[in-house]
Amino acid sequence: MQYPRTRKDGTIDEFFGVKVPDPYRWLENDHDPEVIAWTQAQQALTESILNQYPGRKAMLERMQELVNYPRQTAPIKYGEWYYYHRNDGLQNQWVIYRKRQDGPEELFLDPNTMSPDGTTTVYSVGKSKDFRYFTFLVSAAGADAGELWTIDTRPLNNTPAFELR
């Protein structure tokens, strides 16, 4: 196997007087053209090996068949609303819906529409005491870090169910 060459640099951090080399720090910048090329070369090597297994395609199809079914979480009541998540089977991200006990369901937040490739994730991180404002961590492309978004959940004169503040 011919692995892609992985460059090392001279990055060194010092913590409490101890020097700690970090020669692969440059790989953390996933927007750097050199990192993108290195990642693509790693992926090509991986695919060339995995494609040698004759049952790979059948296994992938079976795995998709096993996970391709609609799923929904149990509802959680916040104020007068019940909130729940739903995934139709192969959606990248779970979609958040809400409804009042006897009211119609409404789409609350669909992370799948927040980026062209559907990799933006949304995690609830807090709610106001009156459940009017929800705060979410919105992260792009699988990043651990993200932006905090606070949503006003009260509809305002025929506006959407929420409005970004």
Residue with tokens 């892609």: 4
Q: Is residue 65 part of a domain?
A: no
**What's the confidence (pLDDT) of residue 165?**
41
The Cα angle at residue 15 between residues 10 and 20, in degrees rounded to 5: 30
Are residues 38 and 83 both part of a single domain? no
Are residues 84 and 48 both part of a single domain? no
Q: Is residue 3 part of a domain?
A: no
Q: Is residue 119 part of a domain?
A: yes
Are residues 78 and 45 both part of a single domain? no
Q: How many domains does the chain have?
A: 2
Confidence of residue 164 (pLDDT cuts 50, 70, 90): very low
pTM: 0.65
Token pair of 114, please? 């927040």
Residue 90 has pLDDT above 90, yes or no: no
Neighbouring CB atoms inside 10 A of 162's CB total: 21
Q: Can you spell out the DSSP letters for 118-164?
A: S--EEEEEEE-TTSSEEEEEEESTT-S--EEEEEE-S--TT--S-EE
Are residues 159 and 79 both part of a single domain? yes
29-85: per-residue pLDDT in tens? 988 999 999 999 999 999 999 999 999 999 999 998 998 999 999 999 999 999 999
Are residues 32 and 106 both part of a single domain? no
CA separation, residue 71 to residues 19, 53, 59, 139, 150 (Å): 49, 31, 22, 23, 26
Are residues 93 and 25 both part of a single domain? no
Which is nearest to 147 in space by CA: 120, 129, 128? 120
Distance, CA of 92 to CA of 90 (rounded, Å): 6
Share of the chain above pLDDT 90, in %: 74
Confidence of residue 157 (pLDDT cuts 50, 70, 90): low
Confidence of residue 144 (pLDDT cuts 50, 70, 90): confident
Q: Is residue 5 part of a domain?
A: no
Q: Is residue 60 part of a domain?
A: no
66-79: per-residue pLDDT in tens? 989 999 999 999 99
Are residues 29 and 91 both part of a single domain? no
Question: Which structural domain range is residue 100 located in?
Answer: 70-164
Residue with tokens 């998709």: 64
Q: Is residue 92 part of a domain?
A: yes
**What's the confidence (pLDDT) of residue 141?**
82
Are residues 33 and 108 both part of a single domain? no
Q: What strands, in cross-sheet order, belong to the sheet with 121-127? A: 121-127, 133-139, 147-152, 163-164
Are residues 47 and 88 both part of a single domain? no
